Structure 1
Amino acid sequence: MRTRYALFLPGPAALLALVFATRLAMSPLKHYDLFFHLAGGRFILEHGFTRVDPFSLTGTSGWVPHEWGFGVLCVLLARWLGAGGPALFIAALVAANILLLWKALGRAASGHRGLLTLAALGGVLLVQAPTWPAERPFHVGHLLFTVAVLCVQSWRAGNSRVLWAFPLLGVAWANLHGSWPLGPALLGAAAVGQALEVPGPESRRRSLHAFAFAVAAYLAAGLGPDGPAIYLYPLHHSVLESTQTIVEWRPLDLDLGWSWAYLALAGAALFTVGRAPSRSVTCLLPAVVLGIAALKVQRHAPYAAVLLALALLEHAARTTAGASSAGAWRLWKQVDDALDGWASRSRGALWPTLVLAALTAIHAAHPTPMEQGVKRTWIPLDALAALRRLPPGRVLNPFALGGSISYFAGPDYKVFIDSRNDPFPLAIHDDYTRLTWGQPGWADALERYDPDYLVWKVENPGHILLDKLRARGGWREQLRDGEYVLWVRERPGATARP
């Protein structure tokens, strides 16, 4: 009877997945980056791949759609389910990641899913939580990293056949999100750690075998439209001067609450590892390397948090196994055992699956148009609709809004810049800074681009450019849409140019 009803009993992770999946699936689309992925995915489906940036005249570094798979999937889902498609996709990725994280953490804890395991899951989710409201492909990266963790755990347990998953993982991951090198790096570091931790020819043979598959997974990433160029792309992107201005590429910011959650998780892991009677180099090597990297580049923190949680639980299990239970707190043990019993009896992934399936059916029957499923306080849809009714031309726009213009107005309206970042040489980023803050040379930057339209934010610092253009004249306000305005350049006897 217990086995029969286990499928209907939601466990702790299933309840979390149910709550977050429901909320994310029903949220309006809002993140700016989603729309340049949608614009890129639509362009690829209609025209194929091109190295020439189709959305701007300033993106002279070339278009590198390394996350093209995410954009194409979102476009196909939007065509089927309307605005609910991308939202459901993100909700499914987050829910699946929570469920698989719970499985990986349970394995690290030697099968005991008690209070410490739940706390470790909570710590990881706190670090990852700021990413949830954003409809971006790093959700794919989080999920595939967890899949890679599960595969490494299976390999450590003696299953060598699971290594064949890594080349396939490398191909899929590299065409969906830029975090793909973490998969081969995780397996390679675990292989080196195994060789150092377990002496003997058999251990060295298994480690060499796993390292070869890590190399194969890395090389498999080249089986995509970018070809071998993708091997150096992560390094090239990370050293761009313009990349250093992006928040997620900066060092860990202690003004952000989740950063303290990451440091608490790291401190707990360090304390537990220090108390353990023995230590696993196989577990610790990737955790230490990525954990330190996250201090330098906070983008890595959601992945490093997973490895820190695994190190904490694996070494806590070793400590518990060698300790006497006489000194254990009775209340803690009772609650801990009850939670473990609940988790062991439940197979509750059914509930988030059913909720997402029901929402998918609803959206399939009644798709919500994209314009109706977008958070209008973030995206000035009325201004973009008015822009689309004007002749094609050049648009001077804020960094974050470029993708929205490319998607809702179309690629014929060439944006000055957008948050893809890497297609634009440093000179364009410098010109954008001059225009935004009215720095010396702003007028020259304006004339070099010679825009036909201006879609700009009126709030600080947006008013700086608007005030300067009012003083110069030659522009008229076409529409005001919340915090944004659409201005048209007055060209006597001329029309906008492509």
Structure 2
Amino acid sequence: METNAAAMPRPAALGLSILSAVLVLIALTDAFAEPDLWGYLNFGRLFFKESGFPSRDLLAYTPTHPDWVFHEWLTGVVLYRIMEAVGPAGIQVLKYTLGCLTALLLFLASRRRGATVLHSLSFFLLGGAFFSWAYPAFRALCFTYFFFALFIFVLETARHNENFRRLWILPLIMALWANLHGGFPAGLGLIGLYAAGRFWEGRRYWPYLKVLAVCALATLINPYGLGLWTAIAGHLAEPQAGVREWVSVPGAWVHFGRSYDLLIFLACVGFTVGMLVLSRFKDKVFTLICLTTAFLGMVHHRHMPFLVLALGAYGPFLLQDVCCGEKRKTKARACAMLFVLLFALAMAACNIKYFVLKTPIVIKGGNPLALNTPWEPYAPGTDALFYPVHAVDYLETAGFSGNILPYATWGGYISWRLYPRCKVAMDLRFETVYPKKVRDEYFRFLQAGAGWRDFLVRYPHDIVLIYRGGALHKAMSKEPGWREIYKDANTVVFSRKGGR
């Protein structure tokens, strides 16, 4: 609770709350349909249209694993039903709801720890752009980030008054989480870190271990049983090389260039380390959670949001304690404060620059509840994502049926448009569906380097649908068994000679 001296005037608190909410909504506004979305919808359609549970792949014609363990299966079922009932707007409303609830849970968790309204809302002013890359339209990761924030809130509520009975809601949440997205180990890790932190502090930790054990058992309530854990372990042990989200932060910086998410994350790391040093690592739970999430974020790009989420829940009180607590002035403390201030300014600068660029786009943009499939990059000459809309229209109008070899990012979209008449050689399900040998052959084909023809001649492709221009287009143009049948400004379609 805030003291009268620390409390903000109500008009100021209301204004800051409204500003924070607006920033979150601006960050969440994105009408681009993520390539993973089509994978969810395809599974949902198979779930409702085919007989039995889809435990074997039906979308590809290349070799696949004998069993298809889709750890996002319930997301596919939910999104397909929403799409069928109300269309893309329903999926967008779900995304906005999850994002806003995540923001609210972080705010409430920070207040549970004793942070003032000002310090609790400072997170959204310093790092609100985080919601832009954490909540695209639509990825099952949105569920994981929401549940991670919900776990923090429940854990903090139980810690606040030592009422550990409230922790027993977590196994029920975990059973749902484990069927929506494979990121549920983050929740188990969070409980484990709470137990370790309290053990370090010499406080009661057994209630957390009991709940952790039951939560682990709850993850087995899924269509795959223990196979879900086996699949996720394999997924983590063998992430697809070259995919940005599985690259380390230094690797992403070198190979993909700097971006707002990298800059904000690195600023968060520096800010967090400085805060921990200033607080002398007094809060053991926060120390363990932040160091763990910072490490995971540095190792894999896709794990960066966990540190930002943790900072949103735990950082405000720590910032308040550092700024308003100990007043002893030393040279070391002054240097640490300067260190923290510099990183806070870096976070704020990235955030401001992001919103300066994003706000006009949102204002001038179209329907925020739409799901757009652009047929060209938003900036010509870039590798920004787009879809082969016109090429697929051409194939659909021509009544084509057969096997299509596309870029993997287009595979799910093509299946959504053309299945069951057409199957694809590859899509973004990568290691969950395709053996490593097939994936390696496919990526050699894309590079049009040594051995690129192996994938082309080994499997029964009828159509090759790729980017226009570049090495692969040139290589395909020289292939004697293939002819170009369609091209537009961005894509080109090749058909096997003698085929349709």
Instruction: For residue 232 of structure 1, give the secondary structure of its aligned residue in structure 2.
Output: helix
Contact kept? 1:28, 1:375, Cα under 8 Å = no
> Would you say 1:83 and 2:88 are equivalent positions?
yes
* Structure 1 residue 81 displacement after superposition: 1.8
1:84-113 deviations in whole A, cap 9, x for unaligned?
2222222222222222222223333x1402
Question: Equivalent pairs: percent with the same residue?
Answer: 24
Distance 1:302 1:50 in 2: 31
* Structure 1 residue 325 displacement after superposition: 11
Q: What amino acid does structure 2 have at the position aligned with 1:406?
A: S
> Would you say 1:247 and 2:244 are equivalent positions?
yes
Between 1 and 2, higher relative CO (CA 8 Å, sep ≥ 6) is seen in: 1
Change (3 A) 1:105 1:54: same
Contact kept? 2:115, 2:317, Cα under 8 Å = no
Contact kept? 1:194, 1:281, Cα under 8 Å = yes
Instruction: For residue 395 of structure 1, give the secondary structure of its aligned residue in structure 2.
Output: strand
> Would you say 1:479 and 2:486 are equivalent positions?
yes
Instruction: For residue 494 of structure 2, give the secondary structure of its aligned residue in structure 1.
Output: strand
Distance 1:472 1:293 in 2: 45
Alignment of 1:221-370 (within 5 A): 221-240=219-238, 242-252=239-249, 253-254=252-253, 255-276=258-279, 279-320=282-323, 322-323=325-326
Moved more, 85-94 or 252-261: 252-261
Change (3 A) 1:455 1:244: closer
Residue equivalent to 1:189: 193
* Structure 1 residue 294 displacement after superposition: 1.4
Contact kept? 2:374, 2:389, Cα under 8 Å = no
Distance 1:250 1:221 in 2: 27
Residue equivalent to 1:394: 403
Change (3 A) 1:469 1:295: closer
Alignment of 1:1-400 (within 5 A): 12-18=16-22, 20-21=24-25, 24=28, 27-47=30-50, 48-61=52-65, 62-108=67-113, 110-114=114-118, 116-157=119-160, 158-199=162-203, 203=204, 207-240=205-238, 242-252=239-249, 253-254=252-253, 255-276=258-279, 279-320=282-323, 322-323=325-326, 373-377=372-376, 378-388=386-396, 389-400=398-409
Aligned residues: 436
Instruction: For residue 303 of structure 2, give the secondary structure of its aligned residue in structure 1.
Output: helix
Distance 2:44 2:85 in 1: 15
Residue equivalent to 1:431: 441
* Structure 1 residue 22 displacement after superposition: 6.8
* Structure 1 residue 24 displacement after superposition: 4.9
* Structure 1 residue 481 displacement after superposition: 4.1
1:18-52 deviations in whole A, cap 9, x for unaligned?
45547756x53432111111111111122242332
Moved more, 12-21 or 156-165: 12-21
Instruction: For residue 454 of structure 1, give the secondary structure of its aligned residue in structure 2.
Output: strand
1:447-480 deviations in whole A, cap 9, x for unaligned?
11131112111143xxx23323322334344433
Residue equivalent to 2:337: none
Residue equivalent to 1:441: 451
Contact kept? 1:41, 1:75, Cα under 8 Å = yes
Q: What amino acid does structure 1 have at the position aligned with 2:423?
A: K
Distance 2:122 2:326 in 1: 21
Residue equivalent to 1:335: none
Contact kept? 2:20, 2:121, Cα under 8 Å = no
1:47-75 deviations in whole A, cap 9, x for unaligned?
24233211102251242211012222221
* Structure 1 residue 145 displacement after superposition: 0.6
Q: CA RMSD in A?
A: 3.0
* Structure 1 residue 228 displacement after superposition: 1.1
Moved more, 434-443 or 13-22: 13-22
Contact kept? 2:141, 2:181, Cα under 8 Å = yes
**Segments of 4+ in structure 1 off by > 6 A?**
none
Instruction: For residue 455 of structure 1, give the secondary structure of its aligned residue in structure 2.
Output: strand
> Would you say 1:404 and 2:413 are equivalent positions?
yes
Contact kept? 2:247, 2:299, Cα under 8 Å = yes
TM-score (normalised: structure 1): 0.79
Q: List runs of 5+ in structure 1 lacking aligned partners.
A: 1-5, 327-358
Q: What amino acid does structure 1 have at the position aligned with 2:230?
A: L
Distance 1:15 1:165 in 2: 33
Distance 1:42 1:24 in 2: 27
Distance 1:313 1:223 in 2: 36
* Structure 1 residue 134 displacement after superposition: 4.4
Moved more, 397-406 or 263-272: 263-272
Change (3 A) 1:132 1:50: closer
* Structure 1 residue 155 displacement after superposition: 1.6
* Structure 1 residue 311 displacement after superposition: 4.2
Instruction: For residue 147 of structure 1, give the secondary structure of its aligned residue in structure 2.
Output: helix
Contact kept? 1:90, 1:135, Cα under 8 Å = yes
Distance 2:227 2:79 in 1: 25
Change (3 A) 1:490 1:429: same
1:242-275 deviations in whole A, cap 9, x for unaligned?
5232111111134233223222222222222222
Change (3 A) 1:386 1:380: same
1:421-452 deviations in whole A, cap 9, x for unaligned?
11111212221222212223222321111311
Contact kept? 2:69, 2:231, Cα under 8 Å = no
Instruction: For residue 464 of structure 2, give the secondary structure of its aligned residue in structure 1.
Output: strand
Distance 2:263 2:308 in 1: 12
Change (3 A) 1:30 1:310: closer
TM-score (normalised: structure 2): 0.79
Contact kept? 2:106, 2:312, Cα under 8 Å = no
Distance 1:415 1:489 in 2: 15
Residue equivalent to 1:347: none
Distance 2:281 2:451 in 1: 62
Residue equivalent to 1:469: 476
Residue equivalent to 1:344: none
> Would you say 1:418 and 2:427 are equivalent positions?
yes
Change (3 A) 1:18 1:72: farther
